[in-house]
Each structure stands twice: as C-alpha cells, then as structure tokens.
A and B are shown apart, each in its own frame.
Chain A
C-alpha cells in the first residue's frame, strides 16, 4: 500500500495541453475517483501515474518515491483497462499469472495467489478458459484478478465498466467496492459516469479542461459544489440553472428570476450574499428540490408541463421558465400530464447562487 502524490502535473500533446498543472494527494488505502467529461484529462492523468504516458512537467510520487522516470513495471502498480486488455492467446489462469511468472515467483505461490484471487472474484471455474469464451462481466473479473494477484501498492482503473450493460455495471460496482474493502489497496479510478464516481469513491476529483474543479467526498460535491461546472456535472438529472439578479427589498434579499418570479433569500445566507447585490448571478436548484405544492406551502410558480419521465417511485416533470427548460421531481400520486398546469414549490434553503464572471458558487 502507498500514498500517491501529484505535484503541478502537466501533459501536452504537441501544442494541446491535456493536463494543466494539477496537484492531488491520495492517501494510503484511499479510493479516489477521477471524473469528468470526455477530454478533461482524467485518463491522461491515470496513464501518467501508471507510467504509460510521459510527464511534460511536474512530479509523481508513489509511497514517497519520485517515479517520474521509473518504467511502469517498476512502479508496483496494477491497472484494469477499459477494454480489459486480456491476452487472447492465454487462458484465464495464464492471464492472471503472467505478471507473477515474469517476476519469477515460485509455481506454488503463483497457483495459490491465482486461486485465491479467482475465489474472491468468483471465477474459479473459468481458469482454463480463454478470454473469447467469457462474457463481458467475466472478462472484467479476470482483468481485476490479474491486478489483484500482484498485490500491488496502487490499483488503477481506466473506465473499467463502460463496456458493460447497466445491470452488470451495477453488479461490478458492488464487486469493486467489495474487493477494495477486502484488500484496502490505494485505488485511483477513472470514469465519466458520475453515478459510478459517487457510489465508489471515498473522495471524488472532478476534472474539466485539464484542471481539477473540486476534490471532495461525494456528499460535499453534491451539497456544496464549488463551481458552476461541478454543480451541473454532479447529480442526475442535472441541476437547474436560471439567470437571476440579487436585490434588496425593505431590508430583505431577494432573488429575481426575470420579471415575474421573486424568491426570498433565507436569512442565514444574507451576510454571505450581501456583497453581490445588484450583480448578475446564476440561480441553481436541483430537480429534487423542486416539487409539487403541498398543503400549507407557497407556490413558487404555476407552470405548464412539457413532458414527464415516470420513474416509478418519483416522476420527473419538465417545464419552461423564462425560456429555459427546467426539471422538477413530483410524487407519482400528483399524476402530472403533459400540457397540464401544476403548482410547484422549491426548497429555498437548498438553492445555490453562482457568480457569472468567476463561475464560483457563492
């Protein structure tokens, strides 16, 4: 086991900067997920940690040791690839034992380690098969087994579940979590799927345009996003955004959403928002904090439903305010229909205000 430290890490491909100087400390035994849209630099960062990509500038330390110029085989890491990268001409046993055989482990030790790993992953009966004879999920387990048998200091996962169907992906998420709890090895996991990131990670690193937008626990990212990007990226369906203005009205702060809608800012946020009065801001509220008006609640707006997404235990409703399509979550009993007008209310305490110029959440 080891901690991983990235210091001012840069990577350029010709004139394109893929990673623009990131700093990250990953503690021993920690499960860190790098998440972000395609092209944000997360896979490049992982490949630099693995030693598969040269570093343009900066330092990588594994267990305190500077590994910038250390080849992948000497970094004591194991990696699970998106397309599994299993050797098609080898059996599952040979695939899993390849690294150990190259390191000249005794035969008995190899046998023991492979069988132990196969048992943990439930693939003991597949050891004599070739990758072609396995399903996607089984191949994924073998790829993980190949990583586990080496007992490395760090596990690296590069979008390992993106080729699986939704159900299998969920199963494998649980499997990966279970393996991590069992082995307690430092893990860096790359994905573009925020559900994967939120469910697996001790800490999530949100990346965008080669930079880290925010590092935090899943709860922190969800409830206290630091930037407009993180607020929009984390959460499904995404957070609703509306341009707004902050105004003072007889001592109270109000958020004005266009000409028609005005919301009272909660009293505990007054001092935080005070300096931004009169400035152009973006109002953000998650769909789950917009719901049907219940008895005793004030209506936020009367809106016409554009369309609905019934999900069983809840129904997502889509409607338009100030020309922007927004989403809310209502109970199935409300039984909204497209074209119908419904009264919605919001949990104003859950709102976010974002400064347009800096894109920072206030």
Chain B
C-alpha cells in the first residue's frame, strides 16, 4: 500500500558518499537482521550442526575409521543382544523416571503453592537443591548410601530386622536405584516448572469453578490440568530427551552393571566408543534414538503450538 505524499524509498545517499549502492544494501533492515544473527548461527554451527553431522559421518565408518560402511554399524548393533538390552533399559529408565518426576513435581508444586508466599521462598530453595548440585557429585553420595559395606539404607533396614538389599548388584535393585537417583535429581525441575504454571492460572477461574459447583478434584481436572497442558507437555518432552541422554548417574552408580542391565545409550556408547575404542560404533549407538525423539518432539511441539493459537 502506498500513502500519497509519503515516499517509502530510502533517502538517496549524498553524491559525495562513495559506494552508494553498497551503503544502501548495508543499511537495509533485512541485512542488519541477518548480520545480527551471525553470532548465533556461528555458535549453532560450531556446537550443534558440526558435531551432529560429524557423528553421523563417524557412525558410517569402520572401526579404524578408514572405510565408509554405510549403515553397517547399525546393522551390526541390531544383531547384538546387549544392544537390545540397552534399548529396553533406556526406554524403561526414561519412562518410569519421567512419570515419577512428573507426578512428584506436580504434587510438590501444589504443596508449595499452598504455602503463604512469605515462607514459600525458602521451601522452593530447599526443594531445588537436588537439581542444583552437580549430579556426578550427588550420585557419589547416593553410591555411598547404596554401597554394600557402608550402606546406610541397609543399616536402617537391619534396624527393623529386614534383610540387606543388594542395591547395586542385583538387576532389579540396580535398575531401581538408578531410576530413584534420577527421579531425586530431576523432580525439582518439574516442581519449579509446574509451580510457575500454577501461579499463572488466574484465581478467578477457580472462583468461577467454585460457583459453578466444582469440587477440588473437578477443579484439578477441569481447570488446573487443561491450563497447565502446554507446560506439562513441554516439560515431559524436555525431560524425556534429557533422561534418555543421561550419563553421569549410571556411570557413577553402576557403570552399566550388573551384566549390562543398567546401561543407557550414552553409557553404552561410552563403553563401546571410548573404552573399547570403536568410536564409529559408539556414534551409531548414540544416534539410535535421534529419529524417535525428533518425531516425538515434532508431534508434541505441534500440539503445543495448536493449543497456544486457540487458547
């Protein structure tokens, strides 16, 4: 649309300015916008695109990295029982851990939200501690609690005449332990996200629901959950990705044992790629979940976007 009497052209440079066309191009908003994006593009290229492309390239080489083998490494993995054990354990670990983190975070967020705002800060701070401590360090503490010789848990169980539990040496208990520690570390993230979501729900909606005749449970189902749906979806997506990629807890606590039963993709990739010296195979392991997670992320984010448009 043109407005009469108003020129939308840029002012012509003074004839004395040399390189007028370049000057004009340089001053264009779109040129400036692209130039301002350069630092971010450079960072993404260096830190995301290059490593990702390089790991795809690596996963298609032979062990000595001298020959291109296509999907050979992947086909090799599919034939190995240990790999399918890792797939099974990774899915079990991620699903159980994320479900419990979400549940505990949701309940804790509600509990913290009921505390008067004056005293809420210290509780929020305390409950964030497990998430703030570097997991490798806190897992060492947990290892000490589980470790058979000094296990504080077993000492406690013995006090109640319950037989000692082989926390890290039995398949079931080892899986239980790594999931427990992951839940302990990750639940505060859900707590803080859900707490922020809860606080953003207008109080008037609950008042309107009270007058409409809703019980506390009905308010939760018909007001709280639908209003938190986007945050719940994004938090769970983020947590699934991070939990699948978890390394430090398993590495410190069980190192994948007993009998490879607690390995996740990242710890198994480390075992195969670094400790066994087969970097291309390790790269293939670490890339295995990428397509599934990418599709999951796409679906969840599309739903979130659709809801954001309509609500």
Contact = CB atoms under 8 A, between A and B. Distances in A.
A89 B210 contact: no
Interface string B205-241: 1011111111100100011001101000000000000
A48 to B, nearest CB: 13
B227 to A, nearest CB: 7
Contacts of B30: none
B202 interface: yes
A85 B222 contact: no
Nearest to B307: A89
B310 A132 contact: yes
A72 B211 contact: yes
Interface stretch (A2-10, A17-25, A75-83): A75-83
A78 to B, nearest CB: 7
A143 B55 CA distance: 57
Contacts of A77: 211
Contacts of A90: 226
A80 to B, nearest CB: 9
Interface string A224-267: 00000000000000000000000000000000000000000000
Contacts of A83: 202, 204
Contact of A132 (B205, B214, B311): B311
A37 interface: no
Contacts of B222: 87, 98
B227 A71 contact: no
A158 to B, nearest CB: 9
Contact of A99 (B212, B215, B227, B229): B212
Contacts of B208: 79, 81, 85-87, 146
A89 B307 CA distance: 8
Interface string B9-48: 0000000000000000000000000000000000000000
Contacts of A66: none
B202 A99 contact: no
B310 A85 contact: no
Nearest to A133: B310
Contacts of A81: 204, 207-208
Given A102-B218, A132-B311, A85 B207 contact: yes
Contacts of A178: none
A332 interface: no
Interface in B53-71: none
> In the complex, which of the residues B208, B214, B227, B310 has the most CB atoms of chain A within 10 Å of its own CB atom?
B208
Contact of B211 (A78, A86, A103): A78
B211 A102 contact: no
A324 interface: no
Contacts, number: 65
SS class, residues of chain A in contact with chain B:
loop
Nearest to A102: B213
A102 B207 contact: no
A177 interface: no
Contacts of B202: 83, 85
A78 B211 CA distance: 6
B207 A130 contact: no
Nearest to A77: B211
Interface in B181-212: 202, 204-205, 207-212
Contact of B223 (A52, A87, A130): A87
B214 to A, nearest CB: 6
B311 A102 contact: no
Contact of B214 (A85, A102, A146): A102
Contacts of A132: 310-311
Interface string B271-311: 00000000000000000000000000000000000010011
Contact of B310 (A50, A79, A130, A150): A130
> In the complex, which of the residues B222, B227, B229, B307 has the most CB atoms of chain A within 10 Å of its own CB atom?
B222
A354 B213 CA distance: 48
Nearest to B226: A89
Contacts of A72: 207, 210-211
B207 A87 contact: no
A72 B229 CA distance: 27
Contacts of B205: 85, 87
Nearest to A156: B211
A89 B311 contact: yes
Interface in A91-128: 98-99, 102-103
A88 interface: yes
B234 to A, nearest CB: 16
A90 to B, nearest CB: 8
Contacts of B229: 89
A223 interface: no
A157 to B, nearest CB: 12
A73 B311 contact: no
A90 B213 CA distance: 17
Contacts of A98: 209, 212, 222
Nearest to A147: B211
B304 to A, nearest CB: 13
B310 A103 contact: no
Contacts of B213: 73, 99, 102-103
Contacts of A89: 226-227, 229, 307, 311
A157 B207 CA distance: 13
Contacts of B223: 87
B229 to A, nearest CB: 8
A87 B310 CA distance: 12
Interface of B: 202, 204-205, 207-215, 218, 222-223, 226-227, 229, 307, 310-311
20 contacts: A51-B211, A52-B207, A72-B211, A73-B213, A73-B215, A78-B211, A81-B204, A81-B207, A81-B208, A83-B204, A87-B226, A88-B227, A88-B311, A89-B229, A89-B311, A90-B226, A102-B212, A132-B311, A146-B208, A146-B212
Given A72-B210, A88-B311, A146-B212, 10 more contacts: A52-B207, A71-B210, A73-B212, A81-B204, A85-B207, A87-B205, A89-B229, A89-B307, A103-B213, A132-B310
4 residue pairs, one from A and one from B, having the closest CB atoms: A99-B212, A85-B204, A73-B213, A85-B208
